Amino acid sequence: MFAKVFQQIFDSSIAENYRYRHIFMDMLVLADPDGGIDMTLEAIARRTNVPVDELREAITALSLPDASSRTQEFEGRRLVPIDAKRSWGWRVVSYGHYRAIRDEETRRQYQRDYYVERKAKKSLKKQIRTARDGNPQATMLPRAPNEP
């Protein structure tokens, strides 16, 4: 899996503790498409090569309310338990929000490609229409490779 990580994470309130930020970024990568990390601490430790005690400390901190968080959903918590009856499994609160955001460059590139393709299609349609009307001024249409 992969996750979009925005540069603003370096300016967020968790940036004050690089270990928490690093572990949170690991959690983003481990999350499923809905932001769930349905794993035990031990499983996460094996995958990330982070000691269980450090994970426990970071997950506890990331699960606390944070008045400085940009997202005040769940009082600024970054992680919430998937099931209150278990001691493991978390959901990244803002995962869906950030996953849905297209970064500006990706959006611009999409629009550039879209308009180039649209312009090419319109031009081809115009050439076909002009050639079909028998206009002597019509632009010659490119021939297929096997066409005489």
What does the longest C-alpha to C-alpha distance in the chain come to? 81
Inter-residue contact 17 to 60 (CB < 8 Å): no
When pLDDT is averaged across residues 116-122 and rounded to a whole number, the result is 87
Backbone angles phi, psi at 9, to 5 degrees: -60, -25
Q: Where are the domains of the chain?
A: 7-100, 102-134
pLDDT digits (tens, 9 = 90+) for 67-80: 888 777 889 899 99
pLDDT value at 12 more than 80: yes
Helical pair 18-30 and 52-62, crossing angle rounded to 10 deg: 90
Lowest mean pLDDT among 47-51, 81-85, 120-124: 120-124
Q: Which amino acid is at 83?
A: D
Mean pLDDT of the chain: 84
pLDDT given for residue 145 in this prediction: 64
pLDDT digits (tens, 9 = 90+) for 22-54: 999 999 999 998 999 999 999 999 999 999 999
**Sheet containing strand 90-92, strands side by side:** 36-37, 90-92, 79-81
Q: What is the mean pLDDT of residues 118-134?
A: 79
pLDDT at 146: 65
Instruction: Give the model's pLDDT for residue 120.
Output: 85
